[in-house]
Amino acid sequence: MDAMNELKEHLAGRPFELKQAREKGTRIIGYVPGGFMPEELVYAAGALPVGLVRGGSSKAVAESASYLPRWIDTFCRSQIGHYMLEEDSLYRIIDLLVAPITDVNVRALADSFDFYTDIKTFRYGVPHDKEEDVTRYYLEGLYLLKEKLEEITGNKIEDSKLKEAIGQYNRMRALLGAIGELRKLEAPPISGRDFAWLNHASYLADMPTLIKCLESIYDELKGKEGARPLTRLLLIGSTLAMGDDKIFDLTEESGAAIVMEEFAEGMRHYWEPVNTNGDLMQALSDRYFTRRLPPAWSRPTKERVDFFRKMAGEFSANGILWYQLMYRDGYDVQSSYFQKITEAEMGVRMLKVESDYYPVEIGPQRTRIETFIEMISI
């Protein structure tokens, strides 16, 4: 795909572009890519958002051990490792790290940056159900974020600029949704790996460039057919980070296709647009909190079950691959009974796979995934 290559080239040069922009006075805002941070606000403030979306590196995990004990979620723990390793300049050029506090693991990520680095964090809470009081609380958090962004950039976030940014992000989400939906076809024209990469790219790329590339990619894929997979899987879990590709290697090598992904962190929640009628801050809260599928550590569970039931039907999935990182207890606890629910209520079997980003995991994971795919393909 030409457009995919174009986007890859763009990403390769992106750190340099961001560094140059920073030298010219543009603020770079890092954030935890958990889908609760409206990047629209960052753009509207004249700053540039950068998702800390790297993962899958055992080297970063090993490095993090000097700063955080191993009992924190692998992805959250490895972020301080990426910073300390100095291998990715994006981690070093951010002026502020925005951390929507979803659970203790994200708190650990933010604390490690506050304690060990010169990068300061800005935190606001993401409550764990959707009752009226907490919905209001989340909205208040967005107002505090707006104020902080205005303070750090010196720019007022005008409604006109915010509306423009929302328009761009809605377009990006719609395009990702449209490309993702091409996998409803019997012979999906794009692999799960490539689709996940597009998601990851969206946390780093310049938005107009990204939209242009996504439009071209969609045009290139439309009407095409890929290989017919042996079986079709939904991939769900805690974090799917950029560089954490082994789950794709293992499923693709076994003849299966990932046809849809849903993760608390690392993948976009592109199903819902921000409505631009009425108050824009309220609209952001509505989209990013109220209509956002709750992660496993939030409630109600039923919303997640209903969503996956719908997705399994629409994408003709034969199985669910639950991929979680170590010590993300919200996912570990829910996995133990989610499996019972999916099998009883959806008739879809589920396999749980865990990772701590260590290469030695691959052997046992391969055996389990191959066996699972064989079982559900019969």
Partner 1 sequence: MYDEFLSLCGYSPDEISEQKNRVQQAFAKLGLTEEDIERGVDRIRRFYAVDLEPVRLLLGVWVKELVDTMMAGEEKKKIIYSEWPGANCVLNMGGVTACEDVHFATPVSQTFMIVLGGIFGKLAPFLEAGESLGLPPARAHCGLWQMHVGVIASGLIPKPDLIITSQYICDQAAEADQLLEDLYGIPVVYLDGCCDWQYGEMPSKRQVELVAGRMHKIKERIEEVCGVPFPQEAVMAGFKDMAKTYFFHKALADIMVAADPQPISQANLDLVYFAQFTTLQHRKQYQQAAMALAKDLKRLAKEGKGVVPKGSPRVYLAFRFPGQPDVYQMIEELGLAVPLALLDYLPPEEPDANTYNDLMEIIAKSVYRNAPPCTAYSNIRYNVNSCKAFDLDGAIEFYPLGCRPYSITPLMIRKAISDELGIPSIVLEWGGYDPRDYPAEQFRSRMETFAETVRISRDIKRA
- Residue 263 CB neighbours (<10 A): 25
Q: Does 86 bind partner 1 (CB under 8 A)?
A: no
Kindly identify the residues of this chain, within the stretch 347-376, that bind partner 1 according to CB under 8 A. 354
- Please, which residues have CB within 8 angstroms of residue 30's CB and are 6 or more apart in sequence? 49, 50, 51, 52, 90, 91, 94, 96, 97, 98, 119
Q: Does 96 bind partner 1 (CB under 8 A)?
A: no
Q: Does 281 bind partner 1 (CB under 8 A)?
A: no
DSSP string covering 69-101, please? -TTS-HHHHHHHHHHHHT--GGGGS-SEEEEEE
How many positions of this chain bind partner 1 (CB under 8 A)? 49
Q: Does 126 bind partner 1 (CB under 8 A)?
A: yes
Q: Which of 82, 123, 146, 232 binds partner 1 (CB under 8 A)?
A: 123
Which residues on adjacent β-strands are paired with residue 257? 232
Q: Which of 17, 140, 220, 272 binds partner 1 (CB under 8 A)?
A: 140
Q: Does 43 bind partner 1 (CB under 8 A)?
A: no
Q: Does 141 bind partner 1 (CB under 8 A)?
A: yes
Q: How many CA atoms lie within 13 A of 103 on its CB side?
A: 20
Q: How far is the CB of 235 from partner 1 (least distance, A)?
A: 20
Stretch that binds partner 1, among 40-48, 153-161, 198-206, 334-342 (CB under 8 A): 334-342
Q: How far is the CB of 354 from partner 1 (least distance, A)?
A: 8
Query: What token pair was written down for 17?
Result: 């572009």
Question: Which residues here bind partner 1, judged by CB under 8 A?
Answer: 66-69, 71-72, 101, 103-105, 107-108, 110-112, 114-116, 120-129, 131, 133-134, 137, 140-141, 296-297, 299, 301, 326-327, 329-330, 332-334, 336-337, 340, 354
